[in-house]
Amino acid sequence: DLCRNYAKARVIGLPITVRFITPGGPLWMIFSPVVIPIVAHLPFTKSFITKYKRGWESRERYRPHEEFGELFIICTPSGNIIKVSNFEVADDILKRKDEFGRDLEAFAVLNIYGKNLATTEGKEWMRHRKVAAVTFTEKNAEMVWHESLKEASQMLEYWVARAKKPIRTLAQDTQIFSLNVLAAALFGRSYPFEGKEESEAKNKSIGLDTKDGAFGYRDSIATILHMIVPIMVFGEKKLRDSWWLPKGWQKAGHAVANFRDYITYLINEERSAIARGATSSANLVTNLVRACEEEDSGSLRTEKSVGSSAILTKDEIISDLFVFAFAGNDTTALSLAYILAELAAHPAIQDWISEEIHHYTDTDDVEKWDYATCAKLKRCWAVMYETLRLSHPISQLVKNTGAQARTIRHQGNAYVIPSHTPVEINLPSLSTMPSCWSTDSLEWNPKRFITPASSFEDEVLPSDTTSEFYPWAYSRLVCPGKRFSQAELVGALAALFRDHRVEPALEPGENMDEACHRVKKLSEDIEQRLLSEICEPHKIALKWSRTTDDGVRMEC
Ligand code: HEM
């Protein structure tokens, strides 16, 4: 197969690099986290790891394109993949939506509950998209802002209370933070932040039935996200019924059923509220159900009803809500982990954003910070932009030529890309190319996004979408959760850094500069699991402290 694919790649005429293992194959997705650490202990394997450890695009950033060119082909046993790191070509591909459609195979993993917004195309996708557009409202973003402030304050309290013992649970804690914000936005239910160890211990001591309500939801969705590949490979029923599979895998099968039951219950509740003419608090479930009901004046579409109606079936609603939970949880949790690790390595930037947060907030009571504050915190936005520029959780915008060959033009040449070929727009390369981002493009420096001025009000921040920077994609494909994630991340930064600072815990014999350098390296060493994430977050040990009014750190 590799030889056949190589022959096909040669016909295209772009530079080729060969991989003997398909990077996105399900088996490599499952086994590479086990194989790579073993191989890493063997001599002469650096080049193997550079190429085969998943997420090489995020780790290597623009460098592979410097070696092979702005467009090149990765030839693998299961097919060829075109990598793109040129703004004009990327824009052309994104604009030719009907020619370069979704790579449905790459997204099939999200079909646990059936097809949804992320796994459909054409008219079917437009039906989902239309409903999603009215589901994510500015009101919802406002609620996310308030919830994020509350959750981040509680997370901070938890971290500060444990300040004597460095925090090594950055990745788990940002997951819990993000799950709780999602629970509020999806279901309108607010839960206190509890660190992983505390919540497990408490559940055990009070014998909490984790199938109940929010904790059931929270545990179910966390389990599903963690086990999504085995769920895709074996399916819900097999996982549940196969006694010979590991316990964790069986649990994943039950989690899929729990989430479905919980959402079905909420949909039914909302439908009866609508039937009674009752209003309910606006959240993603109620918005979505109401959007469908309005389209259909009173009844959900059934599996049998066909036609070009914009409404969704109950199963499609469940599947869309799952995708919102999937797309909305890890993306923001991973981004927040990147942000906090980078900030820990850059104390001066913490002071820089803190000044701004103080300027716009006159009390430390986060409940009093209105939603309008979010847009004013330009330096916090710059921190978010800069982190996504260097470490993006999605990393590749994956398209596919579909049923026909398509032509791509680059530097006066035309390249015919065969049918059914994935074409990947390489965000980590586009957002670090020195030709666009200058020679310090691999440095994390949020100030690059701010044009300084004599007052905070006059500082200028570029829009979240330009022709050279689009972390939330753009036009028809723009992320529907863009405002949601912005309110969540900026809210977290505001609550955490107004009066507190974070620093790396020192390893024996290390000074603070060395520790910052080590944490910076760790935070930018990325591995792709389902999304791109910090490879070894447990190695990042952090300490939080409160500052006095004049910015001096106090021991907690
Ligand atoms: C830092 C956080 C986030 C980033 C950087 C981000 C980025 C993106 C990008 C680049 C896409 C387009 C992917 C593609 O075309 O291949 C996308 C799609 C999507 N995002 Fe986000 N996202 C974030 C957070 C969220 C949140 C919080 C939600 C929901 C609560 C969400 C829901 C979605 C959904 C449902 C899609 C698929 C849309 C469609 O297929 O039409 N995202 N996101």
pLDDT of residue 30: 78
Q: Please provide the DSSP assignment of 108-125 as one string.
A: GGG-TTS--GGG--HHHH
Ligand 1 center to 480 CA (angstroms): 6
Range with top average pLDDT, 46-50, 103-107, 136-140: 136-140
pLDDT of residue 241: 85
Ligand 1 center to 533 CA (angstroms): 16
Could you identify the atom of ligand 1 that is nearest to the CA of residue 488?
A: 27
Distance CA 513, CA 507 (A): 12
319 pLDDT exceeds 70? yes
Could you identify the atom of ligand 1 that is nearest to the CA of residue 132?
A: 35
Closest CA to 393 of 462, 488, 328: 328
Q: Which amino acid is at 446?
A: P
Closest CA to 261 of 219, 318, 317, 209: 318
Region 169-184: mean pLDDT is 92
Region 138-162: mean pLDDT is 95
Residue 102 — very low, low, confident or very high, per pLDDT cuts 50/70/90? confident
Contact 110, 119 (CB under 8 A): yes
Contact 269, 275 (CB under 8 A): no
Least confident of 193-207, 276-290, 347-361, 450-464: 193-207
Percent above pLDDT 70 for the chain: 92
Ligand 1 center to 257 CA (angstroms): 25
Region 126-137: mean pLDDT is 90
Q: Which two tokens stand for residue 252?
A: 């994943």
**What angle is formed at CA 484 by the lines to CA 105 and CA 480, rounded to 5 degrees?**
40
Least confident of 58-67, 212-221, 433-442: 212-221
Residue 343 — very low, low, confident or very high, per pLDDT cuts 50/70/90? very high
Least confident of 4-8, 112-116, 194-198: 194-198
From atom 26 of ligand 1, which residue's Cα is the shortest distance away?
328
Least confident of 43-47, 93-97, 381-385: 43-47
From atom 42 of ligand 1, which residue's Cα is the shortest distance away?
481
214 pLDDT exceeds 60? no
pLDDT of residue 208: 43
113 pLDDT exceeds 70? yes
Burial class (CB in 10 A: 0-12, 13-18, 19+), 412: exposed
548 pLDDT exceeds 90? no
211 pLDDT exceeds 60? no
pLDDT of residue 36: 87
Least confident of 195-209, 463-477, 486-500: 195-209
From atom 35 of ligand 1, which residue's Cα is the shortest distance away?
324
pLDDT of residue 209: 44
Ligand 1 center to 327 CA (angstroms): 6
Residue 41 — very low, low, confident or very high, per pLDDT cuts 50/70/90? confident
Q: For the chain, how long is the longest CA-to-CA vector?
A: 70
Residue 218 — very low, low, confident or very high, per pLDDT cuts 50/70/90? confident
Region 415-420: mean pLDDT is 97
Ligand 1 center to 479 CA (angstroms): 4
From atom 3 of ligand 1, which residue's Cα is the shortest distance away?
331
Going from the C-alpha of 415 to that of each of 9, 10, 98, 228, 408, the distances in angstroms are: 11, 11, 18, 36, 5
299 pLDDT exceeds 90? no
Ligand 1 center to 423 CA (angstroms): 19
Could you identify the atom of ligand 1 that is nearest to the CA of residue 182?
A: 30
Average pLDDT score over the chain: 89
Ligand 1 center to 331 CA (angstroms): 8
Least confident of 220-229, 251-260, 390-399, 469-478: 220-229
Could you identify the atom of ligand 1 that is nearest to the CA of residue 118?
A: 40
Q: What is the DSSP letter of 409?
A: E
Region 460-472: mean pLDDT is 97
The alpha carbons of the chain give a radius of gyration, in whole angstroms, of: 24
CB atoms within 10 A of CB 470: 25
Ligand 1 center to 390 CA (angstroms): 17
Could you identify the atom of ligand 1 that is nearest to the CA of residue 185?
A: 30
Region 80-108: mean pLDDT is 92
From atom 21 of ligand 1, which residue's Cα is the shortest distance away?
479
Spatial strand order in the sheet of 79-84: 16-18, 71-76, 79-84, 422-426, 396-400, 101-102
Ligand 1 center to 231 CA (angstroms): 22
Closest CA to 392 of 484, 462, 472: 472
pLDDT digits (tens, 9 = 90+) for 229-255: 788 888 888 888 888 888 888 889 999
Distance CA 24, CA 32 (A): 10
pLDDT digits (tens, 9 = 90+) for 473-531: 998 889 999 999 999 999 999 999 999 999 999 999 999 999 999 999 999 999 988 89
pLDDT of residue 347: 97
Q: How many DSSP H helices and E strands does the chain contain?
A: 24, 13
Q: Which of 123, 126, 479, 531 to probe ligand 1 with, by most ligand atoms within 8 A of CB?
A: 479
206 pLDDT exceeds 80? no
Could you identify the atom of ligand 1 that is nearest to the CA of residue 331?
A: 2
Q: What is the DSSP letter of 323?
A: H
pLDDT of residue 295: 59
Q: What is the DSSP letter of 505?
A: P
Q: Which residues line ligand 1 (CB under 6 A)?
A: 117-118, 129, 323-324, 327-328, 331-332, 335, 388, 393-394, 397-398, 471-473, 477, 479-481, 484-485
227 pLDDT exceeds 90? no
Q: How far out from the chain centre does Cα 440 lie?
A: 25
Ligand 1 center to 119 CA (angstroms): 13
Region 289-305: mean pLDDT is 60
Closest CA to 326 of 36, 42, 117, 14: 117
